[in-house]
Structure 1
């Protein structure tokens, strides 16, 4: 997103760990060309409380169970670019974010100078070429399964706990048709090297691909 000459990019941080937000704020305080706009534990909270953000520094695992893809799309809808800032312990989440058109991925374990330069580059609307992001993009074709809108609808309902009969009722399909869709979905995942033989497997794949929200974490954990 282009910035006017008299305004510095405003950086918002979305992370449920306050220490991470404070860390980025401190890094930005050393830069005279970037401005810390605020931090929040979820995308909704940031959008509700912080204005004028031009770049979001986004953690992938948030307390509201939102998927990386949904978060990036919500930020894009408000004209906000995204840089993923993560420990990268879950490659599925990194790939989900990469498929949603983020500007890059930077590890929290990176030196402060590296993180700051990544933020500066992303704030200019430029891609941040890190190994984590490159690996996610390279793996994207084999990772993300291409489902039709109808297949996705069936998967979302069935994987979230509905029976095949209930899915048929909700989608105005025959039960046999629903089962046919599920069979085709399983074949697609198997061909991608991500087998989904059970209903639990399908739920996991739906979460990994951002079709369903991640389970909420226990706040005490």
Structure 2
């Protein structure tokens, strides 16, 4: 379980970015357990203490591989991508890899700090660049959900528990669980798994099943 004040590991090879991020996180009460320009810091003892790993995709003229990001996600790490890249394809690819969210460095302190707090609590966070990428997404691998599945899914995003969803939708908690499980299965079959609530919110936003105003 994440701490009230989360801890973060920063993977970035630009000294100015590292110094700035350390200052921003310190002012926000976020502890930096490890920082440096090599992805291996996320796996060292100090890096493993972090609730969230902030990763720049470009390190020393080398692009961090999607497999490397996937390894972090598979290991249960919450990954926030913070990069100079601002193209839609990269943003959506990061979501498909299971990252908690995607930010451009132009979005700065406010969004980076908010993204780390959200990721540490497994909550969705959609900064402007990612919102733009999602709204422009025209992928053909969107699962088809029934109206009732969409209704339950939106209620779950807006409620703190499945028991509250059950009361709102006049269903049993077990039935609510069944609807949500079916949605997860549909995404998994489409090759776009969403194992956490935050990931499922990101998928639904990306596919136009819900909108930011709904949240």
Cα deviation for residue 128 of structure 1 reads: 0.9
Q: Is structure 2 residue 127 aligned with structure 1 residue 134?
A: no
1:61, 1:93 → 2: CA distance?
12
Aligned CA-pair RMSD: 2.6
**SS, match of residue 109 in structure 1:** helix
User: Are the counterparts in 1 of residues 73 and 98 from structure 2 also a CA contact under 8 Å?
Assistant: no
Structure 2: state its 5+ residue gaps: 142-215
1:23, 1:72 → 2: CA distance?
23
Q: 1:39 pairs with 32, 35, 40, which one?
A: 35
**SS, match of residue 22 in structure 2:** helix
What TM-score, normalized by structure 2, do the two folds share? 0.55
Q: Kindly tell me: are residues 4 and 23 of structure 1, through their superposed partners in 2, closer, same or farther at Cα, counting changes over 3 Å?
A: closer
2:83, 2:140 → 1: CA distance?
22
Q: Is structure 2 residue 120 aligned with structure 1 residue 119?
A: no
Cα deviation for residue 142 of structure 1 reads: 5.6
2:63, 2:83 → 1: CA distance?
15
Q: Kindly tell me: are residues 140 and 128 of structure 1, through their superposed partners in 2, closer, same or farther at Cα, counting changes over 3 Å?
A: farther
The structure that is helix-richer by fraction is 2
User: Are the counterparts in 1 of residues 73 and 99 from structure 2 also a CA contact under 8 Å?
Assistant: no
5 Å matches for 1:12-161? Answer: 12-32=9-29, 34-48=30-44, 50-63=47-60, 65-137=62-134, 139=137, 141=139
Paired residues, number: 139
Q: Kindly tell me: are residues 77 and 42 of structure 1, through their superposed partners in 2, closer, same or farther at Cα, counting changes over 3 Å?
A: farther
User: Are the counterparts in 2 of residues 99 and 140 from structure 1 also a CA contact under 8 Å?
Assistant: no
User: Are the counterparts in 2 of residues 91 and 136 from structure 1 also a CA contact under 8 Å?
Assistant: yes
Structure 1: state its 5+ residue gaps: 144-221
